[in-house]
Homo-oligomer: A and B are copies of this chain.
Amino acid sequence: MDDATARELVVNAADRLFYGKGIQAVGMDEIRSEAGISLKRMYQLFPSKETILAEVLRRRNEAWTAGVLLAAENAADPREKVLSLYDFLADWFAEDDFRGCAFINSFGELGATAPLVADAARAHKLGFQDYVADLVRDAGWPATLAPQLALLAEGAQTTAAISGTPDAAADARAAAATLLDAAVARA
């Protein structure tokens, strides 16, 4: 097996385990056995647990961005494009292994002690805010709308995670539609 696919195995296993049980609750041995490779090989590919975590977070951010863009792809107009975001959330919340936003979770667990985690979470959320801001600007709506739409998405993620139900996505979508209509009417 070449290094690239072995890395893939490790990162996939770590992502599944970290997301499902928390980072500190998962030992290197558990990642090793889930990935099906030897401990030595794993330490050759990744010099530390933190390195694996960094790669997991990098890929989570990538997947999130791709998912958001894909959901917006078939939107007919800017309004639909914004609202597609909450439909994307609804689909995500309905997955049976959904356990909230990995960045929010890991920030709560390690944000205070691991700068890597804090920075990754900050960058991830900033990227999302920028995406929404671009959408709003391209549509010609007032810029103040963007952070408000982002807040709804953030709130929906934590609410869905803690409550265990996907309802928050629909609430966020309805609120976003109201905010959007109000902003357009006012303009």
Chain A residues near B (Cβ < 8 Å): 20-22, 24-25, 99-100, 103-113, 118, 121-122, 125-126, 144, 147-148, 150-159, 161-164, 167-168, 171-172, 174-175, 178-179, 181-183
Q: Judge whether A121 and B154 touch: CB under 8 Å.
A: no
Q: Judge whether A159 and B148 touch: CB under 8 Å.
A: no
Q: For the complex, give the distance between the alpha carbons of A18 and B172 in Å.
A: 31
Q: For the complex, give the distance between the alpha carbons of A113 and B105 in Å.
A: 13
Q: Judge whether A108 and B112 touch: CB under 8 Å.
A: no
Contacts A20-B112, A107-B108, A179-B178 given; indicate if A122 touches B164 (C-beta within 8 A): yes
Q: Judge whether B159 and A25 touch: CB under 8 Å.
A: no
Q: Judge whether B178 and A182 touch: CB under 8 Å.
A: yes
